[in-house]
Amino acid sequence: MSKLNDQTAAGFTAGEREYVRRELDMFFSTYPTVAEGFMLKTWRGGPESGKPKLSPIANGLIERGLMRLDTASRPPRLFFTTKGLAELRAMMTDRRFADPKKFQHIRQELGIDPVPES
């Protein structure tokens, strides 16, 4: 696979894949879900006060139609679009981009792996 194809495999760039993995990884012994979206910080002062802080990567995901910004909820959140969910599913099925054990909770939520019976 060429370097160019490897960078955008699964529809995300290398930086976007890192951002998604970081947001969906365990946080304070809690597993986040795709359905909850990615929580964003907001500006506390200045002309942008109250508006969400968007990283360049988050802006890129919104511009490419892979995520959408929801400012109605508090705190504001990013949610995957239908196109973004398809790309996330492709990323999660490729072990080069997401460790199946580390992201088992996401793979189960997306229906890639079965949910164990209790």
Q: What is the mean pLDDT of residues 82-105?
A: 93
Q: How confident is the model at residue 118, as a pLDDT? A: 66
Report the predicted TM-score, pTM, of the whole model to 2 decimal places.
0.82
pLDDT in tens, 56-77: 999 999 999 999 999 888 899 9
Q: How confident is the model at residue 30, as a pLDDT? A: 83
pLDDT in tens, 2-49: 444 444 445 889 999 999 999 998 888 888 888 899 999 888 888 888
Does the pLDDT value for residue 84 go beyond 50?
yes
**80 burial class (0-12, 13-18, 19+ CB within 10 angstroms)?**
buried
Confidence of residue 117 (pLDDT cuts 50, 70, 90): confident
User: What domains can you pick out in the chain, each with its CATH number?
Assistant: 3-109 (1.10.10)
